[in-house]
Amino acid sequence: MLTHHRKPVSLSLVSTDLPMWSVVETAGTLYQKDRDRFHLLLHEPAILDREITANSAEEIAVLPISQKPRLLWLEVSPYRVIMTMQGNGKYSYRHFWERGMYGLSRYWLQGDSLATPSQLRLRNFTRNLTLIGHPEPEHLRLEYELWSEKVQLGRYVLNLEIHQ
């Protein structure tokens, strides 16, 4: 039986060895597929751009919203996570993580021409995957490395909080 609930969600991605940190606070729709399998659908919120002027007054501008909203779709279980971003027409990606295994991270770039989109494939190694919460997930922590052939492109931590 497919059940769904609308919940506030916090999604963060942090690099442990690069100067990168990103947080998204939005609402998500949680679908229960099976006993331990869930899908979470998130809409990208408006992006704020902060500028500091010469007199140190901070100005906040809302960037133009794309015509097509970007969607994040997460398929979550205690053993595997698949995250897909789609919907803006120019850029999309899909990550497949499974505890203790190598997975794929694919990125698609669409130019202005109608040609087939270019694809970039990287490998990721999932060091740790922890899912907390029963009967619905409340917290996901995913620690992984990103690789291109034999070159490590960084270590990352993805945290997902589903507020009850």
Give the CATH number for residue 114: 2.40.128.20
Question: For the residues 36-56, what does the mean pLDDT come to?
Answer: 68
57 part of a folded domain: no
Q: Tens digits of per-residue pLDDT, 120-142?
A: 899 999 999 999 998 899 999 99
Residue 46 predicted with pLDDT over 90: no
Q: For residue 1, is pLDDT > 50? A: no
The residue ranking higher by pLDDT, 111 or 63, is 111
- Report yes or no on 121 lying in a domain: yes
Output the CA–CA distances (angstroms, integers) from residue 2 to 35, 82, 112, in the order listed.
Answer: 11, 19, 39
Three-state DSSP state, 112: coil
Are 123 and 147 a contacting pair, CB within 8 Å? yes
pTM of the complete model: 0.80
Least confident of 6-15, 45-54, 99-108: 45-54
- 55 lies in some domain: no
According to the model, what pLDDT value does residue 95 have? 95
**Count of domains for the chain:** 1
Residue 70 structural domain: 3-45+64-154
pLDDT of residue 119: 84
What band does 4 get if pLDDT is binned at 50, 70 and 90? Answer: confident
Predicted confidence at residue 79, as pLDDT, reads: 93
Q: Considering the domain boundaries, does residue 160 fall inside one?
A: no
